[in-house]
């Protein structure tokens, strides 16, 4: 079958000694940074982006994917051991994971999370391999109008699925879109909103924005309050779950993988819903729901599997359509562009070894996480005890060296500091900056597709409604927004995110 | 933004300073963007010009900001909380120092005079306060801070008038110096800072970064051009 020959090609690329080493290094440093409290996957990838600069594109992407999984897994470790979720998706893990840790079963919680994630990762890899080719073929049917409508739909989903106030999420998306218009105009070459600053004529640099808003601003946010870290003092205990634990968690892992995998494909950060949905499902069908919140192993196994499955299937829209479904994937777009790869359907046809090599390395990365993380848990615990007063200067120097290395421009460091201040301001005003990054990355693409579509239709906006696929996508977008704004639903939404 | 029927009936007042400030902030950004894209031709809907999207996004941002600000008068939400000024000054200042010194910089004219006076004033204030019973101004206790500020202002003015510098140029210091500088300076932002520990950490971490970025990853970042020539 096609899929198997493709996967064979991928494993041929990914299993070279160099790429295995890169995947390993990515997973290791990804976990290393991701495990730091308060540093989620977005910050981790921003911070570690520069270490991939010297590599060839395939190697760099394999390493980035490794960093991503490492960061995800590191986030779960922090959630279980310290009760600090690095990002929205590991909030659920803190509920039962930290309780298990308090009962001296931290090892089992970590082990279950790792094994569940590994299983989910295996399934998701096959899923990507199976869906990749047909979706890419479908993508070729997409004209500029369909792309534009798809992105509008993605942004609507992102508004609806964002944490906190819908209005504020909307603000952030629009601000991201506004930022994306800075720079030279595509058609006329006129400078827009550049204030005569030469380095703005190519637009706001992606890594400057990301590192400022997610690297620096996070540091400022964390410096605000004296830290209260609740590192588990109990023994970690044995890592491998016992037979009873396996029996209890097998079904949740299966369900979690399914839920997370499906939701992950949704544009607009569907992946974030996975763990929440899985937790709710497990609690609903459990014989004794009162055990949840008090260290139920299903409450770790299900959401963690859903988390990892979603994290991985989120690659599908990015790799096949070239449209990032969430902020992490937007970061991947930025990283790919730095390496000269424009994500989209053409990647698979033009650089098959890159595409399939990355898919194969996803599986290898998951395996590595299982192998390196379980023995290294002791080291992560040590790392969690490093005081923040030493942690943040280290984060800052990583960011600064990284920013400088993107263009070898010292001025970029100053710009990043400025965006750090801006990001901190946003945090203080209660805005969640992740949707802004998504809006920023999609903005450029959207403007391009909008103008192309209008040129093809000779300036008629009707083209977005007349073409059936495009019209369908827009209808979905409107329906999703309308439903989210209905009071009864928005109340439910609040409940899901506060639970 | 949660809906509360009882509160809603009690008329308009600011119920969430955070939302109000957020709304005003969005409006400010939108007005700024609109003003600065004023000269760009918007074109027509049939033929979009370069100014169309910036203006359209600015208008939407402004409208959303207005909605947010109005909503803050009706719905309860978070209040504004304090800033971490120390974090902004030391952490972002450290990053700025890094950017300025990694490849060196040159400032001319009046700005150079201001910067020189500022640096001299700051240095003299710190030395003076170590000598005086006022103790360390970095401890930022309120009374001490006021005293230190006035000493600094005085010294700054004297230096500004008496010291006619026209150019300040800092050579490219490279990662060997800029790294520890960044770590040490930004590390001062922590409430529980320990200068000695920080100093050792700054040197060790910088050496680690040099090995990692310069040698293991061979990024073209200057190491110490003034000393080693690379």
ipTM of the complex: 0.84
| Number of residues in chain B | 230
The HSE-up count of residue A152 (CA atoms within 13 Å, CB side) is: 21
Cβ distance A51 to B105 less than 8 Å, yes or no, reads no
Among chain B residues, CA nearest to A447 = B53
* Distances in whole angstroms, Cα of residue A273 to Cα of each of A80, A138, A222, A307, A403: 19, 26, 26, 9, 32
CA–CA min distance B9, chain A (Å):
18
- Identify which of B22, B88, B103 has the shortest CB distance to residue A430: B22
Q: How far apart are CA B74 and CA B70, in angstroms?
A: 7
pLDDT at position B201 is 95
Q: How far apart are CA A157 and CA A176, in angstroms?
A: 15
CA–CA min distance B42, chain A (Å):
12
Distance between alpha carbon B27 and the CA centroid of its chain, in Å?
22
Cβ distance B19 to A410 less than 8 Å, yes or no, reads no
| Number of residues in chain A | 499
CA-wise closest residue to A304 among A369, A360, A243: A369
CB A172 within 8 A of CB A432: yes
pLDDT at position B5 is 45
Residue A351: phi and psi, rounded to 5, are: -120, 70
Please provide the distance, in angstroms rounded to a whole number, between the alpha carbons at the two ends of chain B.
56
pLDDT at position A1 is 55
* Distances in whole angstroms, Cα of residue A419 to Cα of each of A47, A222, A398, B99: 15, 16, 16, 14
CA–CA min distance B127, chain A (Å):
25
Among A144, A170, A174, the residue to mutate for chain B (most B Cβ within 10 A): A174
Among chain B residues, CA nearest to A388 = B190
Among A183, A386, A393, the residue to mutate for chain B (most B Cβ within 10 A): A393
Cβ distance B182 to A393 less than 8 Å, yes or no, reads yes
Cβ distance A404 to B102 less than 8 Å, yes or no, reads yes
Q: How far apart are CA A485 and CA A373, in angstroms?
A: 43
In which residue ranges of chain A is pLDDT below 70? Answer: 1, 86, 88, 226-235, 487-499
- Identify which of A53, A416, A459 has the shortest CB distance to residue B219: A53
Torsion of CA A107, A108, A112, A115, to 10 degrees: 60
Which residues in chain B are contacts of A429 at CB distance < 8 A? 18, 21-22, 25, 80
- Name, in order, each residue with C-beta under 8 angstroms of B182's C-beta and a sequence gap of 6 or more: A393, A396, A397, A400, B94, B95, B97, B98
CA–CA min distance A408, chain B (Å):
8
Task: Write out pLDDT tens, residues A392-447.
Answer: 999 899 889 888 888 888 888 999 999 999 999 999 998 988 889 889 988 888 88
Which residues in chain A are contacts of B64 at CB distance < 8 A? 167, 170-171, 174
Among B67, B86, B172, B213, the residue to mutate for chain A (most A Cβ within 10 A): B213
Q: Mapping DSSP to helix (H, G, I), strand (E, B) and coil, where does residue B74 land?
A: helix
CB A223 within 8 A of CB B84: yes
B21 in A contact zone (CB under 8 Å): yes
Which residues in chain B are contacts of A178 at CB distance < 8 A? 29-30, 33, 54, 57-58, 61
- Name, in order, each residue with C-beta under 8 angstroms of B155's C-beta and a sequence gap of 6 or more: B120, B121, B124, B125
B83 in A contact zone (CB under 8 Å): yes
* Distances in whole angstroms, Cα of residue B141 to Cα of each of A93, A397, B6, B134, B194: 41, 29, 45, 10, 17
Q: What is the CA radius of gyration of chain A?
A: 22
B46 in A contact zone (CB under 8 Å): yes
- Contact residues, B window 96-115, toward A, CB-based 8 Å cutoff: 96, 98-100, 102-103, 105
Q: Where are the domains of chain B?
A: 5-74, 85-216
Helix, strand, coil distribution of chain B in percent, nearest 5 = 65, 5, 30
Among B4, B18, B19, B22, the residue to mutate for chain A (most A Cβ within 10 A): B22
Both tokens of residue A477? 């977008």
Q: Is A394 exposed, middle or buried (0-12, 13-18, 19+ CB in 10 A)?
A: buried
Q: How many CB pairs under 8 A join A and B?
A: 213
Q: Per-residue pLDDT tens, chain B, 230 aa: give them.
A: 444 444 444 667 778 889 999 999 999 999 999 998 888 888 777 778 888 889 999 999 999 999 999 988 877 778 888 788 888 989 999 999 999 889 888 877 778 888 888 888 888 877 776 666 555 545 545 456 667 777 788 888 888 888 777 788 888 889 999 999 999 999 998 888 888 999 999 999 999 999 988 888 778 888 888 887 77
CB A473 within 8 A of CB A149: yes
Neighbouring C-beta atoms of residue A221, cutoff 10 Å:
16
Cβ distance B99 to A392 less than 8 Å, yes or no, reads no
Q: How far apart are CA B60 and CA B42, in angstroms?
A: 15
CA-wise closest residue to A358 among A45, A81, A64: A64
CA–CA min distance B167, chain A (Å):
19
Element (H, E) at B168: strand B167-170
Among chain A residues, CA nearest to B220 = A405
Distance between alpha carbon B32 and the CA centroid of its chain, in Å?
20
Q: Mapping DSSP to helix (H, G, I), strand (E, B) and coil, where does residue B169 land?
A: strand
pLDDT at position B21 is 93
């Amino acid at each position: 079958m096609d899929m198997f020959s493709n996967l064979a090609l991928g494993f041929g690329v990914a299993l070279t000694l160099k790429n295995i080493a890169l995947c390993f290094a990515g997973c290791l440093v990804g976990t290393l940074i991701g495990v730091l409290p308060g540093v989620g996957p977005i910050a981790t990838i921003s911070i570690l982006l520069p270490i991939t600069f010297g590599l060839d594109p395939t190697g760099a992407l394999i390493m980035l994917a490794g960093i991503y999984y490492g960061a995800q897994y590191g986030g779960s470790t922090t959630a279980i051991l310290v009760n600090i979720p690095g990002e929205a998706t590991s909030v659920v893990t803190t509920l039962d994971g930290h309780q298990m840790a308090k009962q001296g079963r931290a090892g089992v919680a970590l082990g279950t999370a790792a094994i569940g994630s590994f299983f989910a990762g295996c399934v998701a890899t096959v899923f990507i391999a199976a869906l990749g080719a047909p979706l890419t073929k479908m993508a070729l049917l997409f004209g500029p109008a369909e792309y534009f409508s798809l992105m509008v739909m993605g942004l609507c989903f992102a508004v609806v699925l964002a944490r906190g106030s819908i209005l504020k999420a909307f603000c952030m998306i629009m601000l991201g879109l506004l930022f994306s218009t800075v720079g030279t105009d595509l058609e006329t070459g006129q400078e827009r909103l550049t204030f005569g600053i030469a380095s703005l004529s190519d637009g706001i640099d992606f890594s400057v924005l990301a590192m400022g808003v997610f690297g620096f601003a996070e540091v400022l946010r964390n410096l605000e309050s004296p830290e209260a870290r609740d590192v588990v003092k109990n023994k970690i205990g044995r890592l491998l779950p016992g037979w009873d634990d396996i029996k209890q968690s097998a079904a949740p892992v299966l369900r979690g993988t399914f839920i997370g995998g499906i939701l992950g494909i949704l544009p607009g950060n569907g992946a974030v819903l996975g763990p929440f949905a899985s937790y709710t499902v497990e609690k609903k069908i459990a014989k004794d729901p009162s055990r949840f919140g008090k260290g139920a192993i299903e409450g770790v196994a299900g959401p963690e599997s859903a988390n990892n499955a979603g994290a991985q299937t989120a690659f599908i829209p990015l790799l096949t359509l070239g449209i990032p479904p969430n902020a992490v994937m937007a970061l991947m777009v930025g990283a790919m562009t730095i390496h000269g790869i424009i994500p989209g359907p053409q990647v698979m046809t033009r650089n098959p070894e890159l595409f399939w090599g990355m898919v194969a390395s996803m599986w290898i990365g998951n395996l590595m996480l299982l192998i390196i993380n379980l023995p290294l848990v002791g080291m992560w615990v040590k790392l969690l005890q490093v005081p923040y007063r030493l942690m943040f200067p280290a984060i800052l120097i990583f960011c600064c060296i990284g920013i400088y290395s993107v263009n070898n421009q010292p001025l970029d460091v100053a710009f990043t500091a400025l965006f750090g201040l801006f990001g901190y301001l946003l945090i203080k005003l209660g805005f969640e900056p992740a949707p802004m990054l998504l809006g920023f990355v999609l903005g450029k693409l959207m403007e391009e597709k909008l103008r192309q579509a209008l040129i093809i239709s000779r300036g008629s906006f009707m083209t977005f409604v007349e073409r059936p696929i495009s019209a369908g996508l827009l209808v979905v977008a409107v329906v999703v927004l309308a439903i989210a704004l209905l009071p009864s639903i928005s109340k439910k939404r609040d409940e899901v995110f506060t639970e | 933004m949660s809906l509360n029927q009882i509160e809603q009936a009690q008329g308009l007042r600011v119920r969430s300073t955070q939302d109000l400030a957020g709304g005003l902030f969005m409006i400010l950004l939108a007005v700024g963007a609109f003003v600065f894209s004023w000269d760009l031709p918007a074109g027509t809907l049939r033929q979009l010009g370069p100014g169309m999207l910036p203006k359209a996004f600015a208008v939407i941002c402004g409208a959303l900001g207005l909605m947010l600000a109005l909503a803050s008068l009706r719905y309860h939400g978070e209040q504004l909380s304090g800033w971490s000024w120390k974090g902004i000054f030391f952490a972002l200042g450290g990053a700025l120092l890094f950017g300025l010194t990694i490849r060196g910089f040159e400032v001319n004219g009046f700005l150079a005079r201001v910067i020189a006076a500022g640096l001299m004033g700051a240095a003299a204030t710190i030395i003076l306060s170590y000598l005086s019973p006022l103790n360390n101004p970095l401890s930022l206790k309120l009374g001490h801070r006021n005293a230190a500020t006035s000493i600094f202002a005085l010294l700054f003015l004297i230096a500004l008038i008496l010291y006619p510098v026209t150019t300040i140029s800092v050579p490219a210091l490279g990662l060997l110096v800029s790294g520890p500088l960044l770590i040490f300076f930004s590390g001062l932002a922590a409430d529980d800072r320990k200068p000695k520990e920080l100093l050792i950490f700054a040197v060790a971490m910088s050496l680690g970064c040099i090995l990692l970025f310069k040698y293991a990853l061979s990024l073209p970042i200057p190491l110490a051009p003034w000393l080693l020539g690379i």
